[in-house]
Structure 1
Amino acid sequence: MNGSPRATLLTLTPVLALAALLPLAAAGPASAAAPAAPADPAAPADLAALGGLIDRTVAEQLRRDRIPGAAVAVVSGEEVLLRGYGVADTAAGTPVDPERTGFYLGSLAKLFTARAAAQLVTEGRLDPAADVNGYLPPANRIPDTYPGRPVTTDHLLTHTAGFDSDLVGLNSATPEGIPTLAQSLAAHRPARVRPPGTLVAYDNYGAALAGLVVERVAGRPYAEQVRASVLEPLGMTRTSFEQPHPAALAPARGYRPDGSDGWTEEHGQYGPWTPSGPGGITTAADMARWLRDQLTPDPAARLTQTTHYRQDPRLPGMGWAYEGWTRDGRTGWFKDGDLPGFHGNLLLLPEQHLGVYVVYNGDGTEGTAGWDGKELIRAIVDTLPGGTGGTGSDPGTGDDPGRYGGTYLAARVSRDSMMRTEELFGTVTVTAEAAGLRTEGLALDPRHPVQHWLPLGDGRYRERDGQARIAFRDGVLTASDTPSTAYRRLAWRRQPGPRLAVLGAALAVLLGTAVAVPATALTRRLRRRPAHPLPARAARAAAALTGLLAAGFLLSLLALVSDGNAMMEAVPLGSPLALAPTWWGAAAPPAALAVTAGAAAGWLRGWWRLPGRIAMTAVALAAAVFTALLADYHLIAGPLGALLG
């Protein structure tokens, strides 16, 4: 996740929104062909034929996944193909123009950060192997958590710096009043959780810090440096990292599907960490200029397209911001970028002199837009002549799949923020089966979360019905489709199953108490039984209140996770939808303390019969377990949460 906005319901009715798209669908995609030199006779792709494939694929994606619009740029040799589809603004019905419609870059901004840093390296002004503290102001210097293991620019640009991850509340719905990059990085500095260079874990903070290094070495703000050193030389006049943007660069609006065949506009594409994602905008035509430049790289571009780190030497690794990519026997460089309502994908195949950029201004049903771009890129690559089909080696023998079974967690998952809850719901399960391995939660396609893998030997596996590869080494799972994040096998005490079972049991007791206490009190009154002493009644009331607090927490959590698209907007914005569970959680510790005190007093003073005292003890235990789990996952707001967490 690279950012997020606060959702506002569209005023346009779903019928009008769909009607605005119908004329465009009937007329076909808007297109523009950039002036080009005669085609290179060795160019690998027939752009005329590719145009038809792209038209059909994108039109079906927009229809099937309820996405308002898209833009595509393909560079093959000296030829350029540009396409625009659907609308940039559903209310106004503005069609997507690949030359003029701006789309938010999301994490594709990291490519520009890497390029700017690489230029400083080639000029001899920045040492990528030096301690970055030598380039940073005092407020942004990194603590010496691992003596003798400083963080370098190379670590920042390969996601191996070893920082924890926390994006809660970092983004903004508007471009005004945003703190400076240096101010925000100082205020939101995460802990160092592993020595640098030991594990790849996708890191927005590290990329933003690399942008600050660029800013300090260049002696001018990041946006100015990128504009002067990267954008202007390439003629990318409709790309900007300034916030607010120049008035002439009005970006498309981003959307997610609503519940009535329409769209909800999303917000939160702005923020201070511009070098890692929020704020930057571009057009398909400008990205074609970027692709052409990257396919005929100068020394700085070649530096970004060099493998600087591999989690497993048998699989693709990391360039600077780029991820290694392979398909049909071809190798290249890939990057994607996501912000609420915007999802872009970019691929370079230098040997084929082919570059592809595709972007959507909608999340798609079930968050499918991010995968749709990858699906289109794969379809384009599969048309190229001379591919191997990617079947690779024949299945191997002698490897025991059972030794790799277990639960794995992406190394990027937070340890010190409420985003740690991803540990409960976002793990990867690996299970041995007759022909090899079965994984769930590793697939990029949200519609097909289960994958099956055939052994290649020595801890390597290839996808049974695809071309992906995975490899295991020292308890770490590495996947060819996601070289920017490794997966660590969880010890039994950290696996989500037992923790969710304990949490479920505690919630069941507390929710039952919220119903049982008023019911028994009413029954006692109807039967005209003597009332318990006031302190006893207060203790039971505290138990019932704790149950109601648990119910409020559960409902607010379900509201947050029930719509992944809305959650992607809410968390970086720090909106009430995202923070509500922590507000309910803030009341849990005092409530648990009150229930525990009441249960203890009940035993000492004999307020209830034995079953009643046992029941109150069970409620106190459930409240304590509930509070402990909330604290462990940083779901208690305020100073008390900071203390307990």
Structure 2
Amino acid sequence: MIDDRTTRRSVLTALGGLGLSSTGTMVSRTSAATDSRDNGPQRGDPFVHPDELEAFVDETLAKRIGTTTPGATVAIVSGDTSVLTKGYGVADVDSGEPVRADETVFRVGSVGKLVTYTAVIQGVERGVLDLDADVNTYLDDSEVTVPDTYEDPVTLRHLGTHTAGFESTLDPGIVSEPTALDSLETILIDRQPSRIRPPGELVGYSNYGAALAGHVVAGSHNTTFEEYLQSEIFDPLSMSYSTFAQPIPDNQPGYLAAPHVRRDGSFTVADDVYINMRPAGSLSATATDMVAFMKAHLCDGAVGDRRILDRKTTEMMHSRHHVRHQAVTNWRYGFHEYGNPDANLIAHSGATVNFTSYLLLAPDQNVGIFVAFNSNPSERPKAIVDEIVAEFGLQKAPTTPTPTSRPGSQKRAETVAGEYSLTYLPQSGPLQVVDLLEHLTVEPAANSHLQTTTLEGDARQWVETEPYVYEEVGGHDVLAFEVTDGEVDVLNMSSEPTGVYQPVPFHERQLVTGGVLGTALSGFGLSLVGWGGHNAWQQLKQYRTDNESGVEDSG
């Protein structure tokens, strides 16, 4: 990146209209505030020059369109002002139809969980729901029941912070035909995972938990989940192109972008898929509709005179609801923190098999960013958000921590050395093999550093900044170990908000180091043929896209 930001932005502004296929809108910064307080450009507004922002986003996506994804849609807001809504590339490589931010509908996957959890908070505000009540309280008229495996019950607060203790199955009930969709109640009964840990203890990302929260919302209001969201969020915010319904209703405006896969160096249209656990990931929306949703969250729950939450309730949703460790990213309600926990950036990623998305809010700067692709590449929409965050100073640039000689540092490094796996990975069933693929090795390194290495060989260096807390060299990431009587209980990684790492038992280490992994993977592929009519390797791809962090990602 060029250090001279002023020179660079001048060049980018000049390049703003280059021949990258795009359609969109850049709105003037003169619109008046519509709330009792000033929700327009804020102090230190990072997007005070929208032409520079547009030029930067144009350049950033020009490097990806046609190689990373055939199409993308972008929405950026500051307060109650839409700074940029723009489509890039094509919605369908066969027709050549361009992406239009205000008409092209994208499947946004788990970003839709934010809408689901907003609906939960509406119920709390109205006195219909209580975040700390036993969730079974709201299931009296349902066949779904959460078993009393542990003394403490599962609550809506647990569901919104992924701390209910359900075993992860990764599969949100994906099917290849809409006729194969079950009712939400049926899927929650048939696909109920085991409770494998007490609620409130550890984060373990759960599609089932989000789907259960949506079921509670619907049941407590005596309607269906889709109908509730339509009447209580989409209609009030004029999100006319948004729906959780599958397939998208014929009378819905706009057109759905085609899903794409990249084979032999080019993109082809892929078959669409459908998600049984609708509240966890079946939302389809345009970038313009996501503008309205982000504005509501940034402007105290309202867009103009259209209100979905009150101010205090919105602030409550954005506050911390579960703390893994003070040094790392933690959970707000439905949102996880992004980057430096002190930066107050909150986010969520999303993916279906061949769509990906990312949404970030910066409440202190009153800024929101949404990006979606009609593909599922290794480099995801979060990469675009990361570049915008860095370029426009939404959080401080990473600095290399100075190694210091701390008493006992070598012994602590030896204590934490070992192999770790993530809590959101399956502990049983055919996808248990994914757990083997995600093992992380921790070992002491030179110069008082710690080194982590993935199974793929990706290595990072860390410096101890306080006992059992380590900062990434040249990055924002943080490791924080919880140690009792010389034994590691938990490894928290800031860039993995969707779970925590726990030490791997010796016999499981042997599955990897002893060469058993290849055999396991071979059996894994065979065992999943015909699973739900969908290729499970695509499910593994979805899992890795939706949950791998790089830096601060989640699914």
Higher helix share: 1
Aligned residue for 1:84, secondary structure, equals: strand
Cross-structure match for 2:188: 185
Asked whether the 8 Å contact 2:442–2:450 carries over to 1, the reply is yes
Asked whether the 8 Å contact 2:436–2:517 carries over to 1, the reply is no
Q: Distance in 2 between matches of 1:559 and 1:265?
A: 26
Cross-structure match for 2:292: 289
Q: 1:575 aligns with which of 501, 509, 534?
A: 534
Aligned residue for 1:95, secondary structure, equals: coil
Cross-structure match for 2:24: 31
Bigger radius of gyration, 1 or 2? 1
Q: Distance in 1 between matches of 2:178 and 2:517?
A: 40
Matched, 1:258 2:263: yes
Cross-structure match for 1:275: 279
Asked whether the 8 Å contact 2:525–2:537 carries over to 1, the reply is no
Q: 1:434 aligns with which of 440, 446, 468?
A: 446
Aligned residue for 2:179, secondary structure, equals: coil
Cross-structure match for 1:623: none
Q: Distance in 1 between matches of 2:172 and 2:216?
A: 23
Q: How many residue pairs are counted as aligned between the two chains?
A: 488
- Could you tell me which amino acid in structure 1 is paired with residue 433 of structure 2? T
Asked whether the 8 Å contact 1:556–1:577 carries over to 2, the reply is no
Cross-structure match for 2:382: 374
Q: 1:332 aligns with which of 345, 351, 354?
A: 345
Cα 1:310–1:266 change in 2 (3 A) is: farther
Cross-structure match for 1:322: 335
Q: 1:414 aligns with which of 423, 426, 432?
A: 426
Cross-structure match for 2:354: 341
Q: Distance in 2 between matches of 1:63 and 1:440?
A: 32
Query: Once structures 1 and 2 are overlaid, which stretch shifts more, 427-436 or 265-274?
Result: 265-274
- Could you tell me which amino acid in structure 2 is paired with residue 160 of structure 1? T
Deviation at 1:331, TM superposition (A): 2.0
RMSD of the alignment, in Å? 2.7
TM-score of the pair, normalised by structure 1: 0.71
Asked whether the 8 Å contact 1:239–1:283 carries over to 2, the reply is yes
TM-score of the pair, normalised by structure 2: 0.82
Q: Distance in 2 between matches of 1:331 and 1:152?
A: 25
Cα 1:266–1:431 change in 2 (3 A) is: farther
Q: Distance in 1 between matches of 2:510 and 2:313?
A: 44
Q: Distance in 2 between matches of 1:292 and 1:138?
A: 35
Q: Distance in 1 between matches of 2:287 and 2:263?
A: 27
Asked whether the 8 Å contact 2:357–2:382 carries over to 1, the reply is no
Aligned sequence identity (%): 29
Cross-structure match for 2:509: 495
What are the residue-to-residue correspondences of 1:50-61 with 2, within 5 Å? 50-61=53-64
- Where do 5+ consecutive residues of structure 2 fail to align? 1-16, 33-39, 301-310, 484-488, 539-555
Deviation at 1:571, TM superposition (A): 9.0
- Where do 5+ consecutive residues of structure 1 fail to align? 1-23, 508-552, 561-566, 580-645
Q: Distance in 1 between matches of 2:526 and 2:149?
A: 38
Cross-structure match for 1:531: none
Aligned residue for 2:72, secondary structure, equals: strand
Asked whether the 8 Å contact 1:329–1:387 carries over to 2, the reply is no
Cα 1:228–1:449 change in 2 (3 A) is: farther
Aligned residue for 1:228, secondary structure, equals: helix
Asked whether the 8 Å contact 1:170–1:572 carries over to 2, the reply is no
Query: Once structures 1 and 2 are overlaid, which stretch shifts more, 388-397 or 176-185?
Result: 388-397
Cross-structure match for 1:71: 73
Asked whether the 8 Å contact 1:168–1:573 carries over to 2, the reply is no
Cα 1:449–1:572 change in 2 (3 A) is: farther
- Could you tell me which amino acid in structure 1 is paired with residue 19 of structure 2? A
- Could you tell me which amino acid in structure 1 is paired with residue 469 of structure 2? R
Asked whether the 8 Å contact 1:176–1:244 carries over to 2, the reply is no
Matched, 1:157 2:160: yes
Q: Distance in 2 between matches of 1:502 and 1:376?
A: 38
Asked whether the 8 Å contact 1:168–1:574 carries over to 2, the reply is no
Q: Distance in 2 between matches of 1:554 and 1:285?
A: 42
- Could you tell me which amino acid in structure 1 is paired with residue 136 of structure 2? N
What are the residue-to-residue correspondences of 1:31-50 with 2, within 5 Å? 31-34=24-27, 37=31, 40=41, 42=43, 43-45=45-47, 46-50=49-53
Cross-structure match for 1:636: none
Q: Distance in 1 between matches of 2:430 and 2:114?
A: 28
Matched, 1:107 2:107: no
